[in-house]
Structure 1
């Protein structure tokens, strides 16, 4: 099917990576061992050093060096808050009563080494723009939360939620992590009955809310916890298209150069892709792929005229459709678009992800 496609540029196959069967073990239940793990990773003397404001820059620098991206201030603030409420195991500090655990880059702060940071905690339908930092426990829908950033060279725009086993939609969750946690607490409180039988759960939520409010008030600058969706609205004004994940793309456009829309709406494009994915033979698939091949040709024309956003949008839709028969198309369109847009790190991430794409969330832990 794809053999007849004229590639936008030379295909770079993803490098095969060694899998890691290590499971996400909880840090030691003792404060002494936790302190030792932090000291080994960062040279800090104790957990109070980790939570102190003077070490925020150092923490961000060390994590950023592994992921080759800058992390926003709220990333380290959430870690400080979790250290305060559960010094023996900060990653699990929010598990009871919110049902979420810190993951991904937070594993580094827990004293662990990550063998493949770009694949670690990267779910099957996570595009390069998503970086998972929280995961829900016992979620049949593979619910997880992460930063969303259009450009790896810039800070995240906001936090999103995803349910990879259900769909590829990315849902706005908050402008920052503390705001998201606060919103989740209030949401759970609104659902908890005033009945005495659940008073313990309500007390836990109320206590956590009070601690978070006090913590946010002592931050410098003070963190606003009330969700106003400012970052989400700002980014929406600058976005183009829709994409299957519903957030569209955001590329620089000047004098109408930088983006041109795909020739079909999402519903039509989905039907075209579904027809290809359901084909039982290779010959049927090649025939059904014809209209999609035409769209790829249009992308090549768009690239010649510097409308790089079209290839990004179509490539993301191939990736988000999820079927393996579209991996080759996504693997040609996306690296090309990211490189044209000077988002080279995303090109590297998508190549690695397509080479080792896992549907089972137990296989996306890359810990040494």
Structure 2
């Protein structure tokens, strides 16, 4: 018997279920788990099972009791072993049906007693024992290679620092860009003038040795007119401050769409499809119209690869998805940013929102005059004209019409007036909290206290 393999069999550590293919570099992982010699891999690989193709992300929490808990659950039925999703598993696809859960049952063996062969088999089960924290996207039937595998620590870090959970297509897009430019994935789209930013910096390891205050993380690549609902992930090299981000109506929800904005121009958010693949494709279509001969070949090459990958992943590339259409029906008012406000609203009792004291056109006129005011008297006159609006929004909040104050705050941000930051903060923070959207309240507070017009908005 080979000496290395004999040492492996005698090793008392737990067998890593990913075997020789394990990519983990964490010393703590290697201290706990053993891995078979790579040159013996061919003899250890069993036939790979085929599974139903699924487009979902599974995040497994690496709690200290996981090994003991798994051992106790060995005798439980398959259906029981896949139920514990509250503490160990977070499904991040938007609509996971009961039938989807049935296809991802736990069939792994006890890791402490498993052989290398059993470890290799368990690699292909998306609900196998959670020894290694991962996000795993299973598309084996469609032969997506490699499968989406992201360290759970990244997911936790993004949630803790940016206060939102990123959807599966975010990680799928990172994997796609990594194939294009492994050495510097953040610049994979540089030839078409796009750069990966924001939470992508976490995946690139940019925050591994950085310590910042909680507020600083919340303004990382947060543009001057970005609402709290927007999380920017792409920027262009245009001087207009063009950027693209995910948009969600509630911090606890997955984003329904992506939007783009030219921060140096206005606060209008343009809808860019329901996922980042669609958003980039729409960007490329618009870039084609510019007729830039230097980017023509790069656009064609990237778009071909993008559409091919989206097709393999079964991603909806339509400009307006069903979820976006459903969202349109829930909009209670069309804010300055044009994307609209979705908040809980009781139509029967007319509770949750009431229109502002001024219509959008009149409000915009006052804000513009205030922005351009050159004397103290002119400024005071504008503020006097706006005072009824502020009072009305405060009364609305007292009577449970929380959407009114949020609309006012978002309109101030979108307009770009910079002398009402504290006012916008006041209305947004109080009303977001009343709607249990505390994460948005924290983002608004951090942003209004450090609102920058610069195009270099990285905190790194």
User: Normalised by the shorter chain, which TM-score bucket?
Assistant: 0.7 to 0.9
Question: Aligned to 1:132, which of 232, 247, 263?
Answer: 232
Work out which structure has the larger RCO, using CA pairs closer than 8 Å and 6 or more positions apart in sequence: 1
Structure 2 gaps of 5+ residues are: 1-23, 36-133, 136-144
Structure of larger gyration radius: 2
State the distance in 2 between where 1:159 and 1:233 align. Answer: 14
Matched residue, 2:279: 180
Name the Cα RMSD after superposition: 2.7
Contact 2:225 2:267 in 1 (8 A): yes
Give the corresponding residue for 1:35.
Answer: none
Question: What is aligned with 1:319?
Answer: 413
Q: Does the 8 A contact of 2:402 with 2:431 survive in 1? A: yes
1:85 partnered with 2:176: no
Number of residue pairs aligned between Structure 1 and Structure 2: 317
Call closer, same or farther: CA 1:340–1:39 in 2, change over 3 Å: same
Q: 1:166–1:187: structure 2 CA closer, same or farther, 3 Å change rule?
A: closer
Greater helix content: 1
Give the Cα–Cα distance (whole angstroms) in 2 for the partners of residues 41 and 60 of structure 1. 20
CA shift, 1:147, in A, is: 0.7
Judged with a 3 Å threshold, the aligned counterparts in structure 2 of structure 1 residues 40 and 144 are, in CA distance, closer, same or farther, namely: farther
Question: Does the 8 Å CA contact 1:41/1:111 hold for their aligned counterparts?
Answer: no
- Give how far 1:266 is off: 1.2
Distance in 1 (alpha carbons) for counterparts of 2:379 and 2:247: 34
Please state how far the C-alpha of 1:178 moved relative to its aligned partner.
Answer: 0.7
* Gap change, CA 1:178 and 1:187, over 3 Å in 2: same
Q: Corresponding residue for 1:331?
A: 425
1:233 is displaced (CA, Å) by 2.3
- Residue 105 (structure 1) shift: 0.6
TM-score by length of 1: 0.78
Match for residue 267 of structure 2 among 157, 168, 172:
168
Equivalent in the alignment of 1:355: 449
> In the superposition, relative to structure 1, how do residues 170 and 201 fare at CA in structure 2: closer, same or farther (>3 Å)?
closer
Secondary structure (helix, strand or coil) at the match of 1:358 reads coil
Find the aligned partners of 2:281 and 2:365 in 1 and give their Cα distance.
39
Give the 3-state SS of the residue equivalent to 1:161 in structure 2.
Answer: strand
Shift of 1:241: 1.6
Residue 340 (structure 2) aligns with = 248
Are positions 1:231 and 2:331 aligned together? no
1:1-368 aligned at under 5 Å gives the runs 52-53=146-147, 55-56=149-150, 58=152, 59-96=154-191, 98-113=192-207, 115=212, 116-137=216-237, 139-189=238-288, 192=291, 198=293, 201-219=295-313, 222-254=314-346, 255=348, 256-362=350-456, 364-367=457-460
**With structure 2 as the length reference, what TM-score do the two structures score?**
0.64
CA distance in structure 2 between the partners assigned to 1:54 and 1:171 by the alignment: 29
Q: 1:120, CA displacement in angstroms? A: 0.5
